[in-house]
Amino acid sequence: MTSKEEWPLLEVKNLHASISTTKGNIIPVNSISYSIKPGEIVALVGESGSGKSVSALSIMRLNAPEIKYKSGSVINYKGKNLLELKEKEMRRLRGNEISMIFQDPMFSLNPVHRIGKQIAETVKLHRKVTPKEAKDIVLDLLKKVGIPDPERRMSNYPHQLSGGMRQRVMIAMALACQPTLLIADEPTTALDVTIQAQILTLIRNLQEETGISVLLITHDLGVVAEIADRVLVMYCGKIVEEGTVDELFENPLHPYTKGLMASVPELSEHSKRRLETIPGSVPNPLELPKGCNFCDRCPYASEECGEKEPVLTKASAESDRQVACWYPLGKKGEINHYAKTSNFS
C-alpha cells in the first residue's frame, strides 16, 4: 500500500450542521473532528440517521440549502476551508480532485444517455482532451474497473446493466479525473454479497494502484473489516470512538461499538453465538437525552451518564485511539468501574 504521510489531506474541525424546523433544531452533525491522511482508507460507521451521509455531503458541498453550518465549522482540504470557497472554486474541485460514489447508481446515472457519453462528459469537463482522447480514457477506465467488452458496453444505457456493473460505471466516473480523495457512500448496499466483495476488492486495488485517499461511509462492519485502515464510529451526529480496524475489532471501547460488533453474524459453520441486537432505538433528534445520547440504550449507564455528556478523549498515552464514554470497556469487553449485566454478551 502507498505509504501514508503524516500531514492530513483532509481535516474536519468542529463540523456542526443543523436544520431548522417548526418543532425545533435538528443537528445531524454535532461538532465532529477527524482527519484523513494521503493514501488512507477511513471508514465512517453508524446506524441510519447517525449523520454519516450529511458529513460526507458537507465535504462535497452538496447538502440541501436548509442545512446550515455553525460558525467555526472547518473542512480543510489541502489547507483550504471548503466551506468558505465560492461555488465556482468548489466546482473545480468537485469531481476533479474530490469525487463521490453514491449509494444507488440507478439514481445517479442519467437514464437517457449512454454510459460512455456520461463518463466522457466528466473527462472533458475537467481535462483538456480531444473527443478521441476522451473515448480512449473512457475505454481504459471501463477496463480498469473490470467491465467486460468495454467498447460494446460504452453504448449501453444504465438500465441495460446489472447493479454491480452500474456501480463499476460510477467508480469509473469517479476516477475519471484522477482525484486525490474518493468518498464512497454505502457503495455496496444494493448489491448481493458476491458482487459486494468484488466492488470492495476493486476499490482497495484501485486505492493501492493510485494512492488516493478514501472516506468510506457504511453501516456494515463486514465491509469495514475488509477494506479500511481506520474507523470512526458515529452515533446521533457525534463520533463516539476512533481507532484502527485492528483496535476496534479486537477491543471495542464504547458500548455502542461493542453492540454493533455483536450484531454482525458469524459465517463460520461451527459458530453457535447468538446474534445480538442493540436494545431500544435511536432517540428522536428533537428529544435527545441530556447527557450521553446512548445512555437510554446502554447496559452500563449510570446516573452520571444521563446528566453529563462525555467528550471524545484519548484512551491511552500510547496510541491515538479515542472514545467518548464515562465508563469505557476493558480488554475483555467488560466495564472497569461500573458493573451491570450486559445485553451484548
Among the listed residues 245, 163, 233, the one whose alpha carbon sits nearest the alpha carbon of residue 204: 245
Find the DSSP H helices in the chain: 52-60, 87-93, 105-108, 115-126, 131-144, 150-153, 163-174, 193-210, 221-227, 245-250, 255-262, 303-307
The three cell numbers locating residue 153: 458496453
What nine digits make up the cell of 286?
A: 428533537
Low-confidence ranges of the chain (pLDDT < 70): 1-6, 265-273, 275, 331-345
- The pLDDT assigned to 319 comes to 81
pLDDT for the residue 345: 38
Q: Is the dihedral of CA 78, 81, 82, 85 positive or negative?
A: negative
Assess contact for 103 and 217: CB atoms under 8 A: no
Is 163 inside a domain boundary? yes
Q: Which cell goes with 144? A: 480498469
Q: Is residue 132 part of a domain?
A: yes
**What is the β-pairing status of strands 213-218 and 41-45?**
parallel
Beta bridge partners of 19: 26, 67
**Distance between CA atoms of residues 38 and 217, nearest Å:** 18
Which residues are CB-contacts of 86 (< 8 A; sequence separation ≥ 6)?
none
Q: Give the Cα separation of 281 and 15 in Å (integer).
A: 25
As for how many domains the chain has, the answer is 1
| Domain assignment of residue 161, yes or no | yes
> 159 in a domain, yes or no?
yes
Please indicate, yes or no, if residue 56 is contained in any of the structural domains. no
- Asked whether the beta carbons of 282 and 50 are under 8 A apart, the reply is yes
Yes or no: say if 305 and 295 are a contact pair by the CB < 8 Å rule.
yes
- Does residue 135 lie within any of the structural domains? yes
343: in domain: no
Please give the model's pTM, rounded to 2 decimal places.
0.88
Domain that holds residue 162: 109-176
Question: Is residue 243 one of the residues assigned to a domain?
Answer: no
pLDDT at residue 187, as a whole number: 86
| Cell (9 digits) for 79 | 489547507
